[in-house]
Structure 1
């Protein structure tokens, strides 16, 4: 099935799939260098179709079937792509389900569209990961190269070729940092799921996010043997159960 094409303010086409069904709409917000054909995105679509629920998945610019080059994108761009999908495709109320970087973007989108997003599920959420790349993952030499040429090529265990990380991306992240705050202004139910064997994003990120949102609004679920992707059958079943529970709350 051909994707829907949404046009950004700078003329790029954002690809999305929308499944019509019962409200609330579930919106899957993908991770860094991921896309809407991933295991979690397609599994959740099947589950929503089975239950007659509305569902949307999409690709950021520079990802999957959308226009643009990955290395040209910034966190601000990918947040704006998410807001475009919310504004043009999603009927309120919406439950945002964000994976990894998508967990960060889902929180930012919920803060900007309180009239649309009524619930949120974060899967291995990675708020402020751009700061982690600079301070924890880059050597002094890599930082020097980044400052001189504006990018570095970062090896990835998920693909053969390195991922291009740009200074523009890291700088844009500074405009959206969350974890330094004392609290977040949320009045929607939130469920945060994180694997304790996650080697890419420490589970303490979700713990901190849970505290910032507040225990009255947020629930933290830690998976003792869970890795970053949380794409095993039992992980997918857990995610699905928690989404269903959240939908029932609404």
Structure 2
């Protein structure tokens, strides 16, 4: 979770009634945009490493917290993929200019893929210069969770509208709502070809207890045949926050940015 205290340099925008916290670093393009995971925030290890990269390289960098996360307002239990997608698009459009590399972690990888689709529909597909997906979890509600729901969890979803389960990353339990599952079905990306129109680099740990590497392999099958790189990290977990994982992330980002800038 968070590794830095709240500071005064966050900016806030209103998106459909939610107060969304944004931090940005100005610099040259192509820049990078961070999209965090479920219950993660923009003060985590990988986001901080990306900010340090942007400072060293003089690159633009933007990160934000979804509603119900970190410094943003709103209730976590009200969150859905559509809601967090709308917030991410609003931040992207207001705080970035020119081509950007979207860096999506876990659920953020799903958000990044949906952003590519929505931007393309709006005629803004050229704004995405590359995708760097870290242990991506596209369609995780349908692909990973629904098949494993217990009878008690299904009953809670039907009767209470949510269920809870312990989190290994935080003292508070994870909360999953029926709205999240229903909305997840409407946002599926693994139901056809995902035409990204940009290079994609996926980093996936083979010891990931949350998102099996089989999902990364399935994602590759739904991406165009060219311009897709999948790097499997044999001993990598879900967080991919060890020094060697961070080094791989930054090297992959350097490659995507160099391609976007025409340096290679």
Q: Give the structure-1-normalised TM-score.
A: 0.96
Does residue 1:203 correspond to 2:203, yes or no? no
Q: Does the aligned pair in 1 maintain the 2:206–2:234 contact within 8 Å?
A: yes
Give the aligned partner of residue 219 of structure 1: 229
Structure 1 gap ranges (5+)? none
Q: CA deviation at 1:140?
A: 1.3
Aligned partners of 2:73, 2:171: CA distance in 1, in Å? Answer: 22
Does residue 1:190 correspond to 2:196, yes or no? no
Does residue 1:67 correspond to 2:73, yes or no? yes
Structure 2 gap ranges (5+)? 1-7, 120-124
Q: Does the aligned pair in 2 maintain the 1:187–1:217 contact within 8 Å?
A: no
Q: Does the aligned pair in 2 maintain the 1:186–1:217 contact within 8 Å?
A: no
Aligned partners of 2:126, 2:93: CA distance in 1, in Å? Answer: 11
Does residue 1:17 correspond to 2:27, yes or no? no
Aligned partners of 1:32, 1:216: CA distance in 2, in Å? Answer: 29
Aligned partners of 2:198, 2:150: CA distance in 1, in Å? Answer: 39
Residue 187 of structure 2, aligned match among 176, 196, 217:
176
Give the aligned partner of residue 84 of structure 1: 90
Does residue 1:94 correspond to 2:104, yes or no? no
- After TM superposition, where is structure 1 displaced by more than 6 Å over at least 4 residues in a row? none
Q: Aligned to 2:167, what secondary structure does the other structure show?
A: coil
Aligned partners of 1:41, 1:225: CA distance in 2, in Å? Answer: 21
Q: Does the aligned pair in 2 maintain the 1:196–1:225 contact within 8 Å?
A: yes
Greater Cα shift, 195-204 or 210-219: 210-219
Give the aligned partner of residue 3 of structure 1: 10
Give the aligned partner of residue 147 of structure 2: 135
Q: CA deviation at 1:207?
A: 1.4
Q: How many residues align?
A: 247
Q: CA deviation at 1:105?
A: 0.5
Q: Aligned to 2:126, what secondary structure does the other structure show?
A: coil
